[in-house]
Amino acid sequence: MTHWLIDPFQADMVWRALVAGVLAACLCSLVGCWVVLRGNVFLGEAMTHGMLPGVAAAALLGISLMAGGLIAALLMALGVAAIGRSAKLSSDTGIGLLLVGMLAVGVIVVSRSQSFAVDLAGFLFGDVFAVRTTDLMVLGAALILTAGAVAVGHRAFVAVTFDPRKAATLGLRPRMAIPVLTVLMAVAMVASFHVVGTLLVLGLLIAPPAAALVWARSIPRIMLLSAAIGALAVYSGLLISWYAGTAGGATIAGVAVLLFFASSLLSAMRSKWVKASAVAASACVVAACAGGAEPPPQPEHSTTGDGVAVAEGARELDGASTKLVLVDPGTGETSVYDAVEEVETRIGSYGPVAGVAGDGRFAYLQTGGRTTVVDAGAWTFDHGDHYHYFATTPSEVATLEVPAASVSASSSMAAVRTATGATELIDRDALGERRIEAPAGLMVGSDVAAAVPYGSRVVVVTSAGTVQVIGDTGTQDLTGECSDPTWAMTTRRAVVFGCAGGALRITGGDGDLAATTAPFPADAPALRPVRMDHRDRADVFAGLSAGTVWVLDSRQSSWTLIPVPDAVATNTAGDGTVLVLHRDGTLGSFDVQSRVETARVPLFANAIPAEGPQPVIDIDSDRAYVNNAGTREVYEIDYAGGLRVARTLRTDVVPGLMVQAGR
């Protein structure tokens, strides 16, 4: 009884409409993926409507409609780019102005003919049931050319979409990649509009890729899934149109949008499916064990192409992964949130947690008089002139019988400063294998007030303020003094201590170490910061004391003090700006040189309470993350893009405490 599903397509015109629609869906998926990922939806809409004057003029002049539409679309894009270079006008302003202007010109040109209403309706909605063989050939040729361009330019398109600065560094010519993407948009629109109308083009350009994005993570998979969703929208739309007597193009566009909402709804239910699947998988494992099944063979240790050891059970990634370790301070419920996949992995519940510290891979939860160590499952290995990125399954790995207050680490070891004032050194490779071991040949004394791993050595400050380096050949005193150290952190090439009189920076790599001081300004407040934060491995730090944000450029040995009376948290990427979370729940960006707040956006609906754990700002090379325990949300901020809230990550665990790993 399925004849009603296939009977309509026995008609030649409906079959041609199906073929044309599927070709258009595949073509639009190749281009629409980049439109959605780059946030160019408004530009796409403007270009589809901006084609009208070109098509209308071509019709009046008796020349190719495709040529007229392509020229108009490209002129639209060039105009947006030109206006976007203005310091006073945003690109959205340019798009809005040109959209209205081009549409008005098009309507004026069309109105000069005797069939104004018919022509305009055909332009917007097309005539999918009037597809000719020539139209199919045009769509097929456009699909082949676009697929070739997408394949050749894939690496450049990815880089310019997610990190234009890195694209320029890698020599991928972002200034050329962006215009090529714009031309591909115009080709997809022009090849499809006279068959299915601009409304359908826009629907297939946006809705299927957006629906695919919530399920697939790699760009090729997004494109394939988007093409499948688009083809389903075409088939369903034509079926509905046949039986309901509705306009074909508009019905297909409407079905595409409905599929997006259905996909989003199913994605929201995905977490429940994951939990149910985990229970079922556990039951299967238990049954297999009960049946005497042999355990699977364990993977052997391996190395990367340049000799870096890959830990057992780990895998190497193409790029850095961002993991957020989230802790409910009241219950100790802990999870690891994958900010790329938007998947939250529950680790356990440990009772009240006083604080959490991180070393780039492991999170150290202060649970009473002990420390629970959680492997976030992602880390970066610094190999000198480049990095390696690794991932494994997040899990609890060990328990220290001391309460950790702060942690600093190198690739091979971590120095854990306890709440009682002692320092313990831990081999990080052994910790990844769930073992607590001290690095061979290294030991710190009981008089150490601060310690930071530096490669295979440890730089320490004693209670008397003496600076020493401890290695496998013994202990050496360094030139320099640091009385009453309050914080200690690492950069890629140095270790930095916060001292009573300022900061002390130790550099030297594998050779002899040297100390450089950065004394506090003479007019600095008496109350100094006891904690500093920064982007991992960066040389610029930011910290708070009452009413003041302190910014230290350790390379330049300089301090900058910014008065911010209501500051709750601060951090910096070292790019000349510092982020500050205000008590009223807004996030601000300050220019360090001028000490002026250059941007401010609301994050929290209400003022941040002064009692309880305070939110933090964790930052990496691309994004900043701010936790909101009250709403169980983490805000992902594009701090280089005017503090744009890129995503709101909703969590199962109350994120009262948060630390980042993977970068």
What is residue 355's three-state secondary structure?
strand
Phi, psi of 611 (to 5 degrees): -90, 155
Structure tokens at 457: 């050595």
Q: Which residues pair with 505 in a beta bridge?
A: 496, 516
Task: Give dist(CA 291, CA 314) in Å, integer.
Answer: 29
Structure tokens at 434: 């769930």
Q: Which of 157-166, 333-342, 474-483, 495-504 is most confident?
A: 495-504
Strand (E) positions, 245-332? 302-303, 309-310, 315-317, 323-327
Tell me: pLDDT of 84 over 80. no
Q: How far is CA 226 from CA 31, 149, 209, 568, in A?
A: 11, 18, 5, 43
What is residue 274's three-state secondary structure?
helix
Tell me: pLDDT of 90 over 60. no
Would you state the torsion angle of the CA atoms of residues 469, 501, 535, 579, taken in this order, to the nearest 10 degrees?
170
Tell me: pLDDT of 600 over 80. yes
Contacts of residue 109, Cβ cutoff 8 Å, sequence gap at least 6: 52, 53, 56, 57, 60
Question: What is the band of 292 on the pLDDT scale with cuts at 50, 70, 90?
Answer: very low
DSSP 128: G
Structural domains for the chain: 3-268 (1.10.3470.10), 298-440 (2.40.128.630), 527-663 (2.130.10.10)
Q: Which residue has the tokens 């081999």?
A: 427
Task: Give dist(CA 324, CA 338) in Å, integer.
Answer: 7
Note the maximum CA span of the chain.
95
- Do residues 53 and 102 touch, judged by C-beta distance below 8 A? yes
Task: Give dist(CA 462, CA 482) in Å, integer.
Answer: 9
**Mean pLDDT for all residues in the chain:** 82
Q: Which residues pair with 426 in a beta bridge?
A: 414
Prediction pTM value: 0.59
Task: Give dist(CA 617, CA 605) in Å, integer.
Answer: 17
Among 217, 244, 238, 307, which residue's Cα sits nearest to residue 37? 217
Burial profile 19-41: b = 16 or more Cβ within 10 angstroms, e = fewer:
bbbbbbbbbbbbbbbbbbbbebe
What is residue 339's three-state secondary structure?
coil
Higher pLDDT, 587 or 65: 587
Give the percent of the chain with pLDDT over 70: 85
Question: Out of 73-77, 191-195, 446-450, which region has the weakest mean confidence (pLDDT)?
Answer: 191-195
Task: Give dist(CA 420, CA 446) in Å, integer.
Answer: 11
Task: Quick: pLDDT tens for 213-226.
Answer: 878 867 888 899 99
Task: Quick: pLDDT tens for 559-583.
Answer: 999 999 999 999 998 788 999 999 9
DSSP string covering 85-114: T-SSS-HHHHHHHHHHHHHHHHHHHHTTSS
DSSP 539: S
Q: What mean pLDDT is predicted for residues 78-107?
A: 69
- Predicted confidence at residue 270, as pLDDT, reads 61
Task: Give dist(CA 122, CA 658) in Å, integer.
Answer: 55
Task: Give dist(CA 333, CA 335) in Å, integer.
Answer: 7
Question: What is the band of 303 on the pLDDT scale with cuts at 50, 70, 90?
Answer: low
In one letter, which amino acid is 226?
S
Task: Give dist(CA 550, CA 486) in Å, integer.
Answer: 14
CA atoms within 13 A on the CB side of 311: 24
Task: Give dist(CA 100, CA 197) in Å, integer.
Answer: 19
Structure tokens at 330: 């009241």
Question: What is the band of 658 on the pLDDT scale with cuts at 50, 70, 90?
Answer: very high
- Predicted confidence at residue 284, as pLDDT, reads 52
Strand (E) positions, 455-557? 457-462, 466-471, 474-481, 487-490, 494-499, 502-507, 514-519, 532-533, 540-545, 548-553
Tell me: pLDDT of 452 over 60. yes
- Do residues 202 and 249 touch, judged by C-beta distance below 8 A? no
- Predicted confidence at residue 293, as pLDDT, reads 44
Task: Give dist(CA 306, CA 316) in Å, integer.
Answer: 13
Question: What is the band of 299 on the pLDDT scale with cuts at 50, 70, 90?
Answer: very low
Task: Quick: pLDDT tens for 509-518.
Answer: 667 888 999 9
Structure tokens at 187: 């080709």
Tell me: pLDDT of 237 over 90. no
Task: Give dist(CA 515, CA 499) in Å, integer.
Answer: 13
Q: Which residue has the tokens 């409407």?
A: 254
Q: Which residue has the tokens 């041609």?
A: 16
- Predicted confidence at residue 546, as pLDDT, reads 87
Task: Give dist(CA 39, CA 196) in Å, integer.
Answer: 24
Reduce the secondary structure of 252-263 to three states and give it as a string: HHHHHHHHHHHH
Task: Give dist(CA 11, CA 8) in Å, integer.
Answer: 6
In one letter, which amino acid is 101?
G
- Predicted confidence at residue 171, as pLDDT, reads 53
In one letter, which amino acid is 349?
S
Task: Quick: pLDDT tens for 516-545.
Answer: 999 999 988 888 898 999 888 788 999 999
Question: Out of 128-132, 364-368, 412-416, which region has the weakest mean confidence (pLDDT)?
Answer: 128-132
Among 397, 449, 383, 447, which residue's Cα sits nearest to residue 426? 397
Q: How far is CA 575 from CA 552, 571, 589, 592, in A?
A: 12, 11, 11, 9
